[in-house]
């Protein structure tokens, strides 16, 4: 287990994340989302693959809605605005490249 694993970080009410793997050029985190939660529209330079493990979510990607369910994934390009509305309790596996140093910093601070 890496030093970043095992820490749950609250992102917004009803949404928490945990880093599960970190490499030289990419990282993964698991996200638990409660029905009715909203992850506001944001963007980052990192490419992201979001894979829905369970539940249902509605992404808004560059202003367009995309409903997703377990077994579906989406590739988000660098700097594309995106947010999430949680339609039912869900688990999502997010993979980022390059590594999200900002999130790793939050993990390290949470360990103190």
Give the pLDDT of residue 4. Answer: 52
Cα dihedral 25, 93, 1, 101 in deg (nearest 10): 40
Question: Domain 8-111 falls in which CATH fold?
Answer: Jelly Rolls (2.60.120)
For the chain, 112 residues long, give each residue's pLDDT as a single digit of tens.
455 567 999 999 999 999 999 999 999 999 999 999 999 999 999 999 999 999 999 999 999 999 999 999 999 999 999 999 999 999 999 999 999 999 999 999 998 8
Give the pLDDT of residue 15. Answer: 98
Angle, CA of 39, 41 and 43, to the nearest 5°: 115
Give the pLDDT of residue 111. Answer: 85
Give the pLDDT of residue 1. Answer: 41
Q: Are 15 and 40 in contact (CB under 8 A)?
A: no
Whole-angstrom CA distances from 112 to 7, 10, 50, 105 are 11, 16, 29, 11
Would you list the domain boundaries of the chain? Answer: 8-111
């Amino acid at each position: 287990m890496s030093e970043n694993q095992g820490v749950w970080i609250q992102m917004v009410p009803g949404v928490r994340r945990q880093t599960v793997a970190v490499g030289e050029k990419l990282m993964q985190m698991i996200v638990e989302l409660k029905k009715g939660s909203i992850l506001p529209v944001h963007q980052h330079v990192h490419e992201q693959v979001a894979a829905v493990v369970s539940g249902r979510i509605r992404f808004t990607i560059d202003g367009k809605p995309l409903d997703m369910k377990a077994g579906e994934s989406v590739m988000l390009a660098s700097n594309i605005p995106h947010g999430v509305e949680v339609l039912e309790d869900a688990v999502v596996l997010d993979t980022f490249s390059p590594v999200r140093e900002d999130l790793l910093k939050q993990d390290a601070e949470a360990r103190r």
